[in-house]
Amino acid sequence: MAAAAALLLPLLPLLLPPAAAGASPAPTIAVDAASLGPRFWGVGGLSAGGSSRLLYDYPEPARSDVLDSLFAPGKGFGFQILKIEVGGDCQSSWGTEPSHMHSRADLNMDRGYELWLAAEARRRNPDIVLTSLAWCEPGWVRPGVLSPAGVEYHIKWLAGAREKGLEMEFVGLWNEQ
């Protein structure tokens, strides 16, 4: 905590508004490194809408070099958080991430690349915080994500991710509704 306070303290003047002429001086802010404050979860990235699809096909060693730069602590970005898309068989901006359940009777956790990416991130940083969000869902999930079918869809995805050793810290049910 003390290290975080030491890093953030020099940034404080940038966060406060400039003092106007004749205005009272800027407030004093006491920083107590011994007390706990809000948790800083870290710096992270998002993989969704096909943005990471091409990385899967990079030849080695380029692919590992990029993954190391993204997720290995002390190298490159060293992301501490990764948010991945729960594929839903739809065009979700820059591409289509396949669903783990094309139909209620069809379950396959090996489709797509998001869980692959999360596993690669976890391999490089065992402490990385993983989160997920669905941009859409297959047509059988009706009338929507909060329906019994939607809950089943997300529970099965979370259980499948867990079976692969990937726990999600935070889960979003849908994007930009």
Q: What is the pLDDT of residue 30?
A: 78
137-176: pLDDT as tens digits: 999 998 888 899 999 999 999 999 999 999 999 998 877 6
Q: What is the pLDDT of residue 13?
A: 59
At residue 135 the predicted structure's pLDDT band, cuts being 50, 70 and 90, is confident
Return the CATH number of the domain spanning residue range 43-172: 3.20.20.80
Cis upstream peptide for 27 (omega within 30°): no
56-99: pLDDT as tens digits: 889 999 999 999 999 999 999 999 999 999 999 888 777 788 99
This prediction's pTM = 0.76
CB-count burial class (<10 Å; 0-12, 13-18, 19+) for 162 = exposed
Strands, sheet with 170-172, edge to edge from the N-terminal-most edge strand: 44-47, 81-86, 129-134, 170-172
Q: Which residue has the higher pLDDT, 21 or 53?
A: 53
Which segments of the chain are extended strands (E)? 44-47, 81-86, 129-134, 170-172
